[in-house]
Amino acid sequence: MSNPTRRLAEFCAHLRYEDIPEPVVARCEDLFLDWLGSALAGASQHPIAAFARHARQMGPADGPSEIVIDGSSSSPYFAAFVNAAASHVVEQDDLHNSSVLHPATVVFPAALAAAQDKGVSGRELIAASVAGYEAGIRVGEFLGRSHYRVFHTTGTAGTLAAAVATARILGVDTDTMIHTLGSAGTQAAGLWAFLRDGADSKQLHTAKAAGNGLLAAYMSADGLTGAQAIFDGPQGMAAGMSSDADATRLDADLGTRWALAETSFKFHASCRHTHPAADALLAAMTEHGLKADDIATVTTRVHQGAIDVLGAVDVPHTIHQAKFSMGTVLGLIAVHGVAGLTEFDQLALTDPAVAAFRDKVTMTLDDEVDAAYPARWLGRVDIETTDGRRFSGAIDEPKGDPGNTLSRDELEAKFTRLVRFADAADDTETRALIDRVWALRDIESVSALRAAG
């Protein structure tokens, strides 16, 4: 077995709440609230009801773990499964830049389900979640850009993130954590093929990553053994699913670099690859006093990953597809100034002004932007106006990035918008849920969030 694998396992198995710096703990609570809002906002969206029905058909009638979208309960496996599907569908959940991983939607469903099953403290839930973020982000970085071109890293690396968080809740030792990584890695799956059809697989990927990761942890704790060299062995993840894997990323700076704190909140309700250009366009339009009608063309200069993921969507046919359409996102920004859930729901497919603006937008690969990616997501747009003027817009940290993050007030406002969008809770419960998350570290035994709210 490689040393990086063992060191990663050892760190994750032994990470104590007391070892985590206070700002990282606080950011973990921020990310948890942001995740809960995404899950509640997803409750009414297609295809989430199908996941809930599947859990009812294949799982038990109730259990120790909460399905947050409706306050019902199930076994840990199916609670994680439904909550993970729900928290990824409105494209408002967090993203870690250099790994291109959405950690919250896979880590928190698994960790919460296991925490409620075992009745551990809020501090244990936080420590387990931090372990899941640190591991999952490093696995995503290890798999590299070649992996992300074909695989949905949140499905693949996400399985290991969920597994580590769950195993930390279960209190496993280093050897069992290695088995957990092995059994999670050999289940890792998720292809981008669905994107060009606007199919529902993105939710299936997060549901299965959370569920399969949780399964790997529970079954490893019960004696199931896994591969020792799942990452860099000759028949491991790198051999099968990457051509630029770097095993030194697996255990780099454990305990000194806190990758969780690098995670970005999503401000716009679209694919994160559209955010740098959206912010750059907004900045340029504000600076130069431009309106949508003033603009003849917008060229967004992007990294290759954006072209790989967004290139397939030309004219979106579903709201979810519209979130992957650069032209639609910039159209909402240019015409309405906002690309939030409500704008996508009510305007993205039907507003003729947005459609007209969409056709003005092109993407082109930019060497500088591409070289900075994925560590930094640079926004660069070139604008030509109808009267022949040319402007450029540039931002180096999209809104929500660690250097341009959301305050607790902004996070509460976003949470409230998400809950109201889905009519998921009344104002009293919304407030109670926020307060409960801000007090997460003081909970002695994690129980249902909604009943307790």
User: Does the protein bind its own copies through residue 422 (CB under 8 A)?
Assistant: no
Task: Rule CB under 8 A: choose which of 3, 21, 193, 296 binds its own copies.
Answer: 193
Task: Rule CB under 8 A: choose which of 39, 195, 330, 347 binds its own copies.
Answer: 195
Find the shortest distance in angstroms from Cβ 134 to its own copies.
Answer: 22
User: Does the protein bind its own copies through residue 276 (CB under 8 A)?
Assistant: no
Q: How far apart, in whole angstroms, are the C-alpha atoms of residue 234 and residue 226?
A: 15
Which tokens go with 311?
């290139």
User: Does the protein bind its own copies through residue 3 (CB under 8 A)?
Assistant: no
Instruction: Return the DSSP state at 74.
Output: E
Strands in 264-315 per DSSP E: 295-302
Q: Which of residues 290-309 bind its own copies (CB under 8 A)?
A: 308
Query: Residue 24: helix, strand or coil by DSSP?
Result: helix
- Stretch of 232-240, 249-257, 420-428, 439-447 lying at the interface with its own copies (CB under 8 A): 232-240
Task: Rule CB under 8 A: choose which of 88, 102, 205, 301 binds its own copies.
Answer: 205
Find the shortest distance in angstroms from Cβ 364 to its own copies.
Answer: 19
Q: Which of residues 122-151 bind its own copies (CB under 8 A)?
A: 149-151
Count of all residues that appear for the chain in the document: 453
Q: How far apart, in whole angstroms, are the C-alpha atoms of residue 244 and residue 410?
A: 38
- Stretch of 8-16, 50-58, 275-283, 404-412 lying at the interface with its own copies (CB under 8 A): 50-58
User: Does the protein bind its own copies through residue 111 (CB under 8 A)?
Assistant: no
Which tokens go with 314?
């030309």
User: Does the protein bind its own copies through residue 218 (CB under 8 A)?
Assistant: yes
Closest by alpha carbon to 136, among 153, 113, 122, 149? Answer: 153
Find the shortest distance in angstroms from Cβ 439 to its own copies.
Answer: 30
Q: Residues 254, 134: contact at Cβ < 8 Å? A: yes
Find the shortest distance in angstroms from Cβ 174 to its own copies.
Answer: 15
Token pair 């366009």 in the structure block, residue: 281
Task: Rule CB under 8 A: choose which of 17, 47, 294, 438 binds its own copies.
Answer: 47
Instruction: Return the DSSP state at 399.
Output: T
Instruction: Return the DSSP state at 101.
Output: B
Task: Rule CB under 8 A: choose which of 3, 50, 337, 408 binds its own copies.
Answer: 50
Strands 72-74, 65-67: parallel, antiparallel or unpaired by DSSP?
Answer: antiparallel
- Stretch of 236-244, 279-287, 380-388, 410-418 lying at the interface with its own copies (CB under 8 A): 236-244
Q: How far apart, in whole angstroms, are the C-alpha atoms of residue 40 and residue 424?
A: 6
Helices (H), 289-422: 304-310, 319-322, 326-336, 341-346, 352-358, 367-372, 408-422
Q: Residues 130, 226: contact at Cβ < 8 Å? A: no
Task: Rule CB under 8 A: choose which of 213, 226, 374, 379 binds its own copies.
Answer: 226
Binding site for its own copies (CB under 8 A): 46-47, 50-51, 53-54, 57-61, 75-78, 149-151, 155, 179, 182-183, 185-201, 204-205, 208, 212, 215, 218-219, 222-230, 233-237, 239-241, 308
